[in-house]
Amino acid sequence: MTQIRFGPMTEVTYAAGSIGFGIDIGGSGIKGAPVDLRDGALAAKRYRVPTPAKSTPEAVAACLAEVLEHFAVPTETPIGITFPGIIQHGVVLSSANLHKSWIDTDLADLVHRTTGHRATVVNDADAAGFAEVRHGAALGQDGVVMVLTLGTGIGSALINDGRLVPNTELGHLEIDGYDAETRAASSVKEREGLSYKKWATERLQRYFEVVEFLFSPDLFVVGGGVSKDHEKFLPLIRTRAPIVPAALRNQAGIIGAAALADREARDLPAPTP
């Protein structure tokens, strides 16, 4: 088999302890960048590889290798990787919008076997939510923060006083007999040709009402690509808690993944050789 090497194409100075690395696996692209852990800024322009049409674990792992090689990431740099599904101890437990063969795949182990790197693997919305609390729209907010990402599906992150409760999966709440994301995700707005007003008042309003009733957050943060158009739909949603757009937009996953990997590296004792 021919091994393709991509070579380091972006030079980065990996100052120990202050630079981490994040990769965000999405339905259309796999994006990575080094992250300055002190302020959450990207330390270089992000690099994007299109998600393979057949998004199997092997195909995606090759993309992860390409991203890591592009930045010549050293093995001691903490690496965080997001996945759009439930992740428990590095293992993928659900895959609503990527290939079904991901289910039960140990992504952390796959990355190690393919690239030689140890990585912390987290749900994509959890990473984005953690980033918004640490460096973005929910910075300094005490109490319960609920971050919802509106995209192909709906992702959720629940953070209480800075601590993340992982894998809440509120996109799949059953509301009025439907899996909520099949009614309220922004992909549904596109697919059904709904106006912002119709989407906000007929789909998102009901969704936010149910989530607010169940969790009574102190703040809602709304992310996902569509949040760049927030002024067209957020003011139409009525909630008790304030509702604000995400500040880190499409970089939140990368930043949060790097921050969570750094936190894990600091919490755990160094692995014995």
Least Cα distance to 152 among 102, 84, 87 occurs for 84
Q: Which of 64-72, 138-146, 165-173, 247-255 is the region at the interface with ligand BGC (rule: CB under 6 A)?
A: 165-173
CB closer to ligand BGC out of 37 and 169 = 169
Q: What's the number of CA atoms in the CB half-sphere (13 Å) around residue 180?
A: 23
DSSP state of 38: T
Q: Tell me, what DSSP letter sits at residue 155?
A: E
Q: In DSSP terms, which residues pair with 106 in a beta bridge?
A: 91
Q: Pick the piece of the chain touching ligand BGC (CB under 6 A) from 78-86, 215-223, 245-253, 258-266.
A: 78-86
Q: Which CB sits closer to ligand BGC, 86 or 265?
A: 86
Q: Which residues contact residue 140 at a Cβ distance below 8 angstroms, ignoring those fewer than 6 apart?
A: none
Is residue 256 a contact residue for ligand BGC (CB under 6 A)?
A: no
CB of 190 to ligand BGC, least distance (A): 15
126, with CB counted inside 10 A (0-12, 13-18, 19+), is: buried
Shortest spacing between CB 127 and ligand BGC, in angstroms: 9
Among 149, 168, 186, 251, binds ligand BGC (CB under 6 A): 149
Among 84, 129, 253, 256, binds ligand BGC (CB under 6 A): 84
Say whether residue 262 binds ligand BGC (CB under 6 A).
no
Q: Which of 51, 94, 141, 227 binds ligand BGC (CB under 6 A)?
A: 94
Among positions 32, 80, 90, 155, the unique one binding ligand BGC when judged by CB under 6 A: 155
For residue 197, the tally of other CB atoms under 10 A from its CB is: 11
Based on CB atoms, which residue is closest to ligand BGC, 28 or 195?
A: 28
Identify which of 171, 130, 160, 174 has the alpha carbon closest to the alpha carbon of residue 24.
130
Q: Taking the complex as a whole, how short is the minimal distance between the CB of residue 95 and ligand BGC, in angstroms?
A: 8
Candidates 19, 37, 64, 125: give the one binding ligand BGC (CB under 6 A): 125
* Closer residue to ligand BGC, CB minimum distance, 19 or 96: 96
Residue 250 CB, nearest approach to ligand BGC (Å): 12
Q: What's the CA gap between 73 and 47, in Å, rounded?
A: 13
Q: Is 171 in the site for ligand BGC (CB under 6 A)?
A: yes
| Residues that contact ligand BGC, how many (by CB under 6 A) | 17
Asked if 148 interacts with ligand BGC (CB under 6 A), we say no
Would you say 230 and 54 are in contact if contact means Cβ atoms under 8 Å apart?
A: no
Q: Does 96 bind ligand BGC (CB under 6 A)?
A: yes
At 70, phi and psi to the nearest 5?
Answer: -55, -35
> Across-strand partners of 50?
29
Q: Is the dihedral of CA 87, 92, 96, 98 positive or negative?
A: positive
* Residue ranges in the chain assigned as alpha helix (H): 57-70, 107-115, 124-135, 181-184, 186-192, 196-198, 205-215, 252-267
Positions in the binding site for ligand BGC (CB under 6 A)? 84-86, 94, 96-97, 123-125, 149, 151, 153, 155, 169, 171-172, 181
